[in-house]
Structure 1
Amino acid sequence: MSAADKNQARHRVIELTQEIRDHQFKYYVLDAPTISDAQFDKLLKELEALEAKNPELLEPDSPSLGVGGGFATTFDQHDHIEKMMSLDNVFDTDELNGWFDRVEKESPAPRYLCELKVDGLAINLLYENGQLIRALTRGNGVTGEDVTLNVKTIKVLPHALSGKKVPERIEVRGEVFFPVAAFNQLNEELEEAGKPLFANPRNCAAGSLRQKDPRVTAARQLSVVVHGVGANEGLSFTDQSGAYAELKKLGLPTSDRFKVSATRTEVLEFIDYYNEHRHDVEHEIDGIVIKVDSIAEQSKLGFTSRAPKWAIAYKYPPEEVTTKLLDIRVSVGRTGRVTPFAFMEPVKVAGSTVTNATLHNQEEIERKGVLIGDTVIIRKAGDVIPEVLGPVLDMRTGAEKKFVMPTTCPECGSALKAITVGDVDIRCTNQRNCPAQLRERIYYIGSRAALDIDVLGLEAAVALLADKVIDDEGDLFALTEAKLVKSEFFTKKDGAPGKNVEKLLAALEVAKNRPLWRTIVALSIRHVGPTSA
């Protein structure tokens, strides 16, 4: 490889590392992913391929060596007794057969346990002498966040184990999820109240589990299913299916939707069955997990740095539907970036109703060949984020129109232009006074990604600006009760200060002592996210 190629590879590894870490932060900390699972996996695979080809570029803290989620939030951090591993993914039968080949080379004729891959939040439950002592999120696999009080609000989870053989100490691994029926009911209630809806059950489960007030979590109908064991003193079993039987005897919520298969054909039949019946399950699934059933064979196969070699996740392809593209509109973000998005006839895909989908930029619209009025193919990528794949050309009538990117900001009328040569994104140049940028910046300051200021959500940001309580973000820390009560958002019906006044002022005081990196992030500087800050 030439020096120029080496240099290019080095730069690409740096770019990928930064991008992957930023997406991990959005996924694990903010519960608000901005790309699909498939897109994330593609980035990670590209990084792994470059590192394999150029071993000298592999850093000890590379995302390819970790299991994701290693970011500090407001909860206490504790180490797992045994590391919580991630799972490697395969996306088709060829890749799955490759995994079968590797397994059977070391362990001829294994039995495979097949189970549903629950789309929820991984949890580690520590029981000592039968009592639930601690519940931790996965975190970075070594250290997780303490969510014990919130987990104890889950009705199906015992605080004390039952049965004749209660182990002295055991780590039980599982997945917290939001049942689909309960999720739909919650969103209906939020819609009636005029509040923002949750994007999907996974995000709702993660957000509910990370509430500071356990009473909020208790009001949500979370559930949990257990599917593994970490550290273990006093419980014996010879296979994975036997472990599930023992966990069930202890009163823990196991799933009945698993099967031990003797052949590859049986595994594929299980995968195909649940691909057809994925919406018949009470929770969302995004694939099937296949494990070697024998514990002895698991030990023989071992682990990589991030995942067991004896287990694999077969990820289902994203679901696709067609709908009418009614319009292409644009939104303005906190750094002025103008993003076109598709406004469509409502359509149900992957279990949720979709009306909007991002189109990223003008170049992406042209690349996909999408016209206003087209019938378009929508994919719920990763079962999370809607994506427009392209038009159905055979259904064009000739009445479709080409989208033209606006030249002025829809919010403030300022000129839109690319800031740097070759930039595919255009931005509003009125950084200081554009209402959209101001609103989004103030909202971002209050988010968990930045200064984590209670009460300072989108509604509060809109009210502060609309009622001229503040002119810009520079006025936030000069707020007083007298200033806040000028806005109806912060007052009761009789005009007295609302409870949110005291909460916001207290939260602003706490925010003054946040770490420097959070303050830097809160400034909304382009290209400066939590990782780089």
Structure 2
Amino acid sequence: MATTPPSDHVPDDVVARRDELIASIREHRYRYYTEDAPTVADAEYDQLEQELLGIEAQYPSLITPDSPTQTVGGQATDMFEPVEHLLRLMSLDNVFSAEEFGAWAARVDEGLNAQSPQYLCELKFDGLAVDLVYREGSLVSVATRGDGRVGEDVTFNSRYMPCIPKKLVAQGEHGVPALLEVRGEVYFPLAAFEAINVRQLELGKSPFANPRNAAAGTLRQRIDRRLTEVDEVRSKTQEADRTSKQSERVARLEAEAQRATDALGGLQLVVHGMGVHDGYDPTSQSQAYEVLASWSLPTSDQVAVVADRQAVTDYITTAIAKRHSLPYEIDGVVIKVDDFAMQGQLGSTSRAPRWAIAYKFPAEVVTTTLLDIRVKVGRTGRVTPFGVMEPVKVAGTVVEMATLHNAHEVVRKGVLIGDRVYLRKAGDIIPEILGPVIKARTGSERAFVMPTHCPDCGFELAPEKEGDADIRCLNAQHCPAQLRERLFALGSRSALDIESLGAKTAAALLESGLIANEGDLFALTESDLMRADYFVRTARKGEEGDQLGEAGLSLIQHLEA
């Protein structure tokens, strides 16, 4: 078994890489938690953190108290008044596979001296962590997590958020406590998130990479200052005496304030923990959720208490399967030891409890470089721009192309060739470029110019009718690209279901001059196909002369059936 070398034996390149990772993680934490404008996707950040964890596991002497692996991400800013949490908010450690989850569960068993805990499983909402404090049942403060000890006071904003109860009402046997600190997540439902991003693009801003950043950007606004500014401008001049410029300013400020408060109204809250509290003392996480719900606080309806690891795995499998049918974004599952006494026995590290873990799903939003924007001519002549990107793994597959729909969409999304872009691929959904990472621009990026003539036949491009967003090649009969796509469509399951008539076969038929239109397809013979190298294979032992290959044989069999 390998032994860990002392600190003076740590290779210089390892120390240098450790320092580089720490600097990079701190920079990304600042952009993520403070500016709400990350320049890398969550998966890329996780990779950096996992690499640092690996180095520190191999060389423990490199671990320092201020390492990102030992601290909670985020910090309170001077934009808001600081709020000291009654009980520290911690982070969660992550696992990314069944094997890593099994290793965590084994550590739990060891820490509990082989006792068999029940696990509480819940969905991991992609939102912003908040801390709420109620005294005598009335809401007195709402704060962001910050660094876990001190957060930002966003209580004023909560008055525009119907999702946060302002007064607790006891609906069960347990009365409302004199003091209650609650932990939860504010998040945007998917429909609201999409609307927020449409608005971001209309304003010429980068889209939010995920609902968490949208929630953070919405909640962490000084709405009070916006409203004060509106009142001050209004009070300085009577409406009848304002110049056009003053009137425009008033209208702009009013519109900005209205957008901000409307966005706050779209946020939702789910609570998932208790901090300091008086009165009733639940003995488990699940009991705590029941009593929180009885006090009118919103809890998740997707929580399950299970008896063993296999049941946890089943919950995770089910969550992955229904991930894209939910009305909100989730990025994983949180697993907690349900019993509070067992939680106390397991304790915590400097940044995270040992009794809980986040099982993270494969990333569905990543960043990559947009190398080029090209166009494709479809079977109806529609000309569609698409992005060619630096290959990147997202949702379990490597993606290097994504549609941009039409020239108007390229302009609306504000993407330039050379941009760092957010790319999303959710399940079976076609990869989509969300928008640019504007802060990553260097000045070398360039705008896309839509071609005026068909790249395949040279015919002039034009809308089919006035007002169309799409432009088309109207040379329907003779454009090779359109004919190729129509042949490919003929082979699809919804048409003739000819498996061998794919894109390559369609291109080979056209390039070899065997057909000039779709009708020619049905007159093809074996001797015709033998004239094209694509369909011919070299003779095997015992055969005389070249033979028709598998693709050609399959095509002929389908056409003659």
Q: TM-score range by the shorter chain?
A: 0.5 to 0.7
Name 1:113's counterpart in structure 2: 120
Whether contact under 8 Å (1:150, 1:217) holds in the other structure is no
1:204 aligns with one of 214, 230, 243? 214
Aligned ranges for residues 227-242 of structure 1 at < 5 Å?
A: 227-242=272-287
| Distance verdict in 2 for CA 1:63–1:103, change over 3 Å | same
Please, which moves more after superposition, 184-193 or 264-273?
184-193
Name 1:93's counterpart in structure 2: 98
Whether contact under 8 Å (2:42, 2:363) holds in the other structure is no
Name 1:379's counterpart in structure 2: 394
Name 2:261's counterpart in structure 1: 218
Name 1:255's counterpart in structure 2: 300
Q: Per-residue displacement from partner, 1:12-44 (whole Å, max 9, x unpaired)?
A: 222111111001011111212222323222222
Shift of 1:281: 1.6
1:150 aligns with one of 157, 170, 184? 157
Quote the Cα distance in structure 1 between the aligned partners of 2:442 and 2:306.
59
Shift of 1:310: 0.7
Name 1:406's counterpart in structure 2: none
Quote the Cα distance in structure 1 between the aligned partners of 2:370 and 2:110.
50
Shift of 1:438: 13
Residue 139 in structure 1 maps to residue 146 in structure 2: yes
Residue 128 in structure 1 maps to residue 135 in structure 2: yes
Secondary structure in 2 matching 1:288:
strand
Name 1:269's counterpart in structure 2: 314
Aligned ranges for residues 463-474 of structure 1 at < 5 Å?
A: none
Shift of 1:194: 6.9
Residue 301 in structure 1 maps to residue 352 in structure 2: no
2:89 aligns with one of 81, 84, 95? 84
Quote the Cα distance in structure 2 between the aligned partners of 1:355 and 1:169.
56
Secondary structure in 2 matching 1:277:
helix
Residue 285 in structure 1 maps to residue 330 in structure 2: yes
Aligned ranges for residues 353-368 of structure 1 at < 5 Å?
A: 359=390
Whether contact under 8 Å (1:25, 1:71) holds in the other structure is no
| Distance verdict in 2 for CA 1:217–1:111, change over 3 Å | farther
Whether contact under 8 Å (1:343, 1:357) holds in the other structure is yes
Quote the Cα distance in structure 1 between the aligned partners of 2:150 and 2:167.
24
| Distance verdict in 2 for CA 1:199–1:59, change over 3 Å | closer
Which residue identity lines up with residue 203 of structure 1 in the other structure? Answer: N
Gaps of 5+ in 1: 322-327, 329-338, 347-353, 360-367, 369-376, 382-386, 393-408, 412-433, 440-533
Quote the Cα distance in structure 1 between the aligned partners of 2:202 and 2:40.
29
Quote the Cα distance in structure 1 between the aligned partners of 2:163 and 2:13.
53
Shift of 1:174: 0.2
Residue 175 in structure 1 maps to residue 182 in structure 2: no
Quote the Cα distance in structure 2 between the aligned partners of 1:148 and 1:67.
22
Shift of 1:437: 8.0
Whether contact under 8 Å (1:69, 1:140) holds in the other structure is yes
Quote the Cα distance in structure 2 between the aligned partners of 1:4 and 1:114.
43
Name 1:331's counterpart in structure 2: none
Name 2:79's counterpart in structure 1: 74
Whether contact under 8 Å (1:154, 1:224) holds in the other structure is no
| Distance verdict in 2 for CA 1:144–1:320, change over 3 Å | closer
| Distance verdict in 2 for CA 1:253–1:81, change over 3 Å | same
Name 1:460's counterpart in structure 2: none
1:23 aligns with one of 19, 23, 28? 28
| Distance verdict in 2 for CA 1:132–1:217, change over 3 Å | farther
Matched residue count? 357
Secondary structure in 2 matching 1:296:
helix
Secondary structure in 2 matching 1:318:
coil
Q: TM-score, normalised by structure 2?
A: 0.58
1:65 aligns with one of 62, 70, 73? 70
Shift of 1:244: 0.5
Name 1:471's counterpart in structure 2: none
Shift of 1:111: 0.8
Residue 12 in structure 1 maps to residue 12 in structure 2: no
Quote the Cα distance in structure 2 between the aligned partners of 1:177 and 1:121.
7
Q: Per-residue displacement from partner, 1:493-527 (whole Å, max 9, x unpaired)?
A: xxxxxxxxxxxxxxxxxxxxxxxxxxxxxxxxxxx
Quote the Cα distance in structure 2 between the aligned partners of 1:60 and 1:206.
27
Whether contact under 8 Å (1:26, 1:33) holds in the other structure is yes
Aligned ranges for residues 295-334 of structure 1 at < 5 Å?
A: 295-319=340-364
| Distance verdict in 2 for CA 1:357–1:161, change over 3 Å | farther
| Distance verdict in 2 for CA 1:210–1:112, change over 3 Å | same
Whether contact under 8 Å (1:117, 1:289) holds in the other structure is yes
| Distance verdict in 2 for CA 1:16–1:298, change over 3 Å | same
Which residue identity lines up with residue 23 of structure 2 in the other structure? Answer: Q
| Distance verdict in 2 for CA 1:233–1:344, change over 3 Å | farther
Secondary structure in 1 matching 2:11:
helix
Identity among equivalent positions (%) equals 43
Which residue identity lines up with residue 219 of structure 2 in the other structure? Answer: L
Secondary structure in 1 matching 2:69:
helix
Whether contact under 8 Å (2:362, 2:395) holds in the other structure is no
Which residue identity lines up with residue 49 of structure 1 in the other structure? Answer: G
Which residue identity lines up with residue 182 of structure 2 in the other structure? Answer: V
Name 2:540's counterpart in structure 1: none
Quote the Cα distance in structure 2 between the aligned partners of 1:357 and 1:127.
52
